[in-house]
């Protein structure tokens, strides 16, 4: 009994810490996006709240918290309330299997816990793919239950888009799964240890430097499909501002709106985490071992690992903003043609080529 | 499709050109934003701002109540109630003078029309109010705007003949007619 309660308490603390980190990153992202977007367009971004506007996320949160919660006439109230919760929960829950740091174990009163991953389950990738598919339900429900033509159109577009591009995400990951021989994100990350040439984007065998198993094409497919799956520019048709007001969350206000927006940012962070873990070696440094180990501070190596993971994730997040600042929105037929006729064949060819090279040159 | 365009397509060449452009704007960050309430742009010399009624250096109102500004105004901003100066039958003044600034389009035609230069356009532009009745200005308010915006006043000219005193114009500077 005490062991169970201790286990529960530890898990709960881990979940809270992870939630806090993700929500903090989301807050940072909302500010960083507006600032960097402004800088790239010769503007300043938010400047009024706090020095250089750094307290803008706080002000936004307070504003949205106190806004009136409007339910449109004719809306399905239960579904209308369920949709933002579903989207939010689903985008937060995916972080459970992401290893933020090295695969350490701690012993607390006879319990072995892994401090840097909430749930080290052996089907981590499948779990994330499944959760990401449920996320589409929140968007479709939100679009349908609002009783608004713009919301419905946004929801329908989201359904078609997420289904098309989810396929590419899944297929792009297969090459990595073949290389790592595991579905667990912890084991996939550990398989890429020992320098950047072992990262799966480069794909050298554990005893060599030549990129024989390179997953570069899968990486590109994954990043593009990830942008599409998070409904970001240039694939933001579900919330196309110039056509559909705000797409599937047109009718939402107050905290429900905040849920949708932070869910979008959280799923951006999730895609960045998955991309960093699968293709860029996760928490592994781009050189063998860590600097802390060389100077004799092995017990602090996890700091360096976490710093590398954060650097990679924030690199991807910056890419998201950079792409948003640059590219215009695709047309709907362009989106579908690109997904089915370009991305899907590349992903399939990547699986075949990886399988053949893996058969000829096993790891 | 030539080989060159094919290579450009598969390497996302055109996209990378765009990404380079945005990145160069980020690296050479020169915002064109003016943080308005904290810093204000310099107005042009002929800026047409808030209207005002003016006075002579001895404090008398310039306005002679001729109604020409009311006639010139294209949006019927101005309403003048003209009256005789008590005891001086040839002189008139504006007993009441109203400007409904909600309708003003700042064309400056009233200023051009005024024969005695009694109207002026100041450089004030921050006149947003919560109640638009506050923008229906009377003579005292317009004179107050003129007082604070034009501290240097025009000199009151001596009048030559009671009959031309109507326009308060000094005819002594005109070339004399030959006798």
B80 with B3, same domain: the answer is no
Pair B170, B157: CB distance under 8 Å: yes
Alpha-carbon gap, residue A256 to B137, rounded angstroms: 46
CA-based nearest distance B38→chain A, Å: 10
Closest by Cα among A21, A24, A5, A188 to A115: A21
Q: How far is CA A85 from the centre of its chain?
A: 18
Per-residue HEC secondary structure of A100-163 comes to CCCCCCEEECCEEECCCCCCCCCCHHHHHHHHHHHHHHHHHHHHHHCCCHHHHHHHHHHHHHHH
* Whether this model's pTM surpasses 0.90: no
Size of interface A-B (CB pairs under 8 A): 36
| Burial class of residue A286 (count of CB atoms within 10 Å of its CB; 0-12, 13-18, 19+) | middle
CA-based nearest distance B4→chain A, Å: 19
Three-class secondary structure of residue A282 per DSSP: coil
pLDDT band at B163 (very low <50, low <70, confident <90, very high): low
Give residues with Cβ within 8 angstroms of B3, minimum separation 6. Answer: none
Alpha-carbon gap, residue A202 to A2, rounded angstroms: 47
Show the tokens assigned to A263.
């869910």
- Give the mutation candidate from B20, B25, B31, B37 for the A interface (greatest A CB count, under 10 A): B31
Residue with tokens 């929960």: A89
Q: What is the pLDDT of residue B75?
A: 92
Are A42 and B21 within 8 A, CB to CB?
Answer: no
Residue B126 has pLDDT above 60, yes or no: yes
Which H helix or E strand runs over B81?
strand B78-85
Residue B57 belongs to a domain = yes
Pair B103, B70: CB distance under 8 Å: no
B154 with B82, same domain: the answer is yes
pLDDT band at B172 (very low <50, low <70, confident <90, very high): low
Are B35 and A36 within 8 A, CB to CB?
Answer: no
Q: What is the pLDDT of residue B154?
A: 81
Residue B150 belongs to a domain = yes
**pLDDT, block means (10 residues), chain A with 363 residues:** 81 88 91 90 86 88 88 84 88 87 77 79 87 84 85 85 87 88 86 81 76 84 89 81 78 86 90 89 81 77 86 91 88 87 90 89 79
A315 interfaces chain B, CB cutoff of 8 Å = no
The chain-wide mean pLDDT, for chain B, equals: 84
Show the tokens assigned to B27.
């690296």
Residue B147 belongs to a domain = yes
Q: What is the pLDDT of residue B158?
A: 61
Are B22 and A325 within 8 A, CB to CB?
Answer: yes
- Within 10 angstroms of residue A319's Cβ, the number of other Cβ atoms is 15
Are A43 and B32 within 8 A, CB to CB?
Answer: yes
CA-based nearest distance B23→chain A, Å: 7
Are B31 and A39 within 8 A, CB to CB?
Answer: yes
Are A39 and B19 within 8 A, CB to CB?
Answer: no
Are A323 and B26 within 8 A, CB to CB?
Answer: no
Q: What is the pLDDT of residue B105?
A: 92
Pair B173, B133: CB distance under 8 Å: no
A156 interfaces chain B, CB cutoff of 8 Å = no
A36 interfaces chain B, CB cutoff of 8 Å = yes
A327 interfaces chain B, CB cutoff of 8 Å = yes
Residue of B15, B29, B35 with shortest CB distance to A47: B35
Residue of B nearest to A343 (CA): B10
Q: How far is CA B50 from the centre of its chain?
A: 5
B21 with B84, same domain: the answer is no
Q: What is the pLDDT of residue B99?
A: 92
Q: Total domain count for chain B?
A: 2
CATH of residue B137: 3.30.70.3270
Cβ-based contacts of B30 with chain A (< 8 Å): 42
The pair phi, psi for residue B7, each rounded to 5°, is -60, -40
Question: Per residue in A124-134, pLDDT tens?
Answer: 888 988 888 88
Are A327 and B18 within 8 A, CB to CB?
Answer: yes
Alpha-carbon gap, residue B61 to A96, rounded angstroms: 79
CA-based nearest distance A223→chain B, Å: 13
* Full domain range(s) for residue B14: 1-30
Residue B43 belongs to a domain = no
Show the tokens assigned to B4.
């060159």
Helix B13-27 and helix A301-326, axial crossing angle in degrees, nearest 10: 110
- Give the mutation candidate from B22, B23, B29, B34 for the A interface (greatest A CB count, under 10 A): B22
Question: Per residue in B23-49, pLDDT tens?
Answer: 998 898 888 888 888 888 888 988 998
Range B10-28 average pLDDT: 89
DSSP assignment of A1-40? -HHHHHHHHHHHHHHHHHHHHHHHHHHHHHHHHHHHHHHH
Residue of A nearest to B15 (CA): A327
Question: Which stretch of A10-24, A148-162, B132-146, B151-165 has the lowest confidence by average pLDDT?
Answer: B151-165
Contacts of residues A3-8 at CB distance under 8 Å and 24 or more positions apart, as own/partner, are A3/A110, A3/A111, A6/A108, A6/A109, A6/A111, A7/A111
B89 with B151, same domain: the answer is yes
Alpha-carbon gap, residue B79 to B67, rounded angstroms: 8
B59 with B126, same domain: the answer is yes
Residue B111 belongs to a domain = yes
Cβ-based contacts of B19 with chain A (< 8 Å): 322-323, 326
Alpha-carbon gap, residue A151 to A88, rounded angstroms: 18
A43 interfaces chain B, CB cutoff of 8 Å = yes
Residue B45 belongs to a domain = no
Q: What is the pLDDT of residue A1?
A: 64
- Give the mutation candidate from A35, A38, A40, A315 for the B interface (greatest B CB count, under 10 A): A40
Are B22 and A40 within 8 A, CB to CB?
Answer: yes
Question: Per residue in B58-89, pLDDT tens?
Answer: 888 888 888 899 999 999 999 999 888 887 77
Show the tokens assigned to A69.
């919660």
Contacts of residues B56-60 at CB distance under 8 Å and 24 or more positions apart, as own/partner, are B56/B153, B56/B154, B56/B155, B56/B156, B57/B153, B57/B154, B57/B155, B57/B156, B58/B156, B60/B156
Alpha-carbon gap, residue A85 to A132, rounded angstroms: 14
B112 with B152, same domain: the answer is yes
Q: What is the pLDDT of residue B91?
A: 78
Q: What is the pLDDT of residue B45?
A: 87
Show the tokens assigned to B141.
């308010």
CA geometry: angle A337, A341, A347, nearest 5 deg:
130
Are A40 and B31 within 8 A, CB to CB?
Answer: no
Pair A176, A278: CB distance under 8 Å: yes
DSSP assignment of B85-153? ETTEEEEEEEEEEEEETTT-----HHHHH-TT--EEE-S------SSGGGGEE-HHHHHHHHHHH--SP
| Dihedral sign (CA A160, A162, A164, A165) | positive
Residue of A nearest to B31 (CA): A42
């Amino acid at each position: 009994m005490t062991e169970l309660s201790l286990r529960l308490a530890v898990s709960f603390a881990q979940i809270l810490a992870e939630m806090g980190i993700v929500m903090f990153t989301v807050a940072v992202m909302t500010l960083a996006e507006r600032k960097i977007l402004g800088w790239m367009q010769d503007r300043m971004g938010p400047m009024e709240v706090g020095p250089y506007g750094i307290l803008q996320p706080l002000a936004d949160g307070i504003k949205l918290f106190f806004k009136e919660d409007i339910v449109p006439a004719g809306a399905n109230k239960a579904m209308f309330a369920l949709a933002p919760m579903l989207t939010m929960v689903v985008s937060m829950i995916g972080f459970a299997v992401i290893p933020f740091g090295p695969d350490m174990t701690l012993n607390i009163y006879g319990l072995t816990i892994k401090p840097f991953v909430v749930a080290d389950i052996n089907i981590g990738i499948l779990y994330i793919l499944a959760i990401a598919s449920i996320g589409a339900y929140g968007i479709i429900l939100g679009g349908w239950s609002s009783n608004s033509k713009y919301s419905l159109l946004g929801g329908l577009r989201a359904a078609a888009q997420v289904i098309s591009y989810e396929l590419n995400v899944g297929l792009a990951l297969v090459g990595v799964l073949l290389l790592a021989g595991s579905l667990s994100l912890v084991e996939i990350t550990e398989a890429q240890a020992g320098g950047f040439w072992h990262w799966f984007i480069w794909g050298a065998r554990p005893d060599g430097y030549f990129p024989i198993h390179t997953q570069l094409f899968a990486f590109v497919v994954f990043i593009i499909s990830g942008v599409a799956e998070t409904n970001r520019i240039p694939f933001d048709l579900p919330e196309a501002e110039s056509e559909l007001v705000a797409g599937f969350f047109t009718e939402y206000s107050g905290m429900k709106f905040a849920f949708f927006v932070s869910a979008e940012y959280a799923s951006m962070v999730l895609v960045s985490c998955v991309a960093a873990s699968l293709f860029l070696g996760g928490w592994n440094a781009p050189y063998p071992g860590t600097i802390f180990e060389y100077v004799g501070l092995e017990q602090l190596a996890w700091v360096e690992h976490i710093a590398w993971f954060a650097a990679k994730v924030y690199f991807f997040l910056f890419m998201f903003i950079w792409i948003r600042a640059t590219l215009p929105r695709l047309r709907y037929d362009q989106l579908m043609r690109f997904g089915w006729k370009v991305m899907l064949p590349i992903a399939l060819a990547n699986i075949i080529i990886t399988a053949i090279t893996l058969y000829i040159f096993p790891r | 499709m030539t080989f060159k365009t094919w290579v450009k397509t598969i390497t996302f060449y055109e996209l990378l050109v765009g990404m380079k452009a945005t990145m160069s704007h980020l690296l050479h960050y020169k915002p064109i934003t003016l943080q308005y309430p904290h810093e204000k742009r310099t107005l042009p010399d002929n800026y047409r701002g808030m209207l005002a009624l003016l006075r002579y250096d001895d404090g008398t109102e310039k306005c002679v109540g001729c109604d020409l500004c009311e006639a010139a105004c294209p949006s019927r901003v101005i309403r003048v109630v003209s009256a005789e100066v008590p005891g001086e039958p040839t002189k008139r003044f504006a007993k009441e003078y109203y400007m409904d600034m909600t309708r003003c389009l700042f064309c400056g035609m009233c200023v051009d029309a005024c024969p005695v230069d009694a109207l002026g356009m100041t450089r004030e532009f921050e006149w947003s109010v919560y109640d638009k009745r506050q923008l229906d200005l009377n003579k005292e308010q317009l004179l107050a705007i003129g007082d604070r915006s034009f501290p240097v006043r025009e000199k009151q000219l001596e009048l030559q003949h009671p009959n031309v005193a109507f326009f308060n114009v000094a005819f002594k500077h005109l070339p004399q007619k030959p006798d």
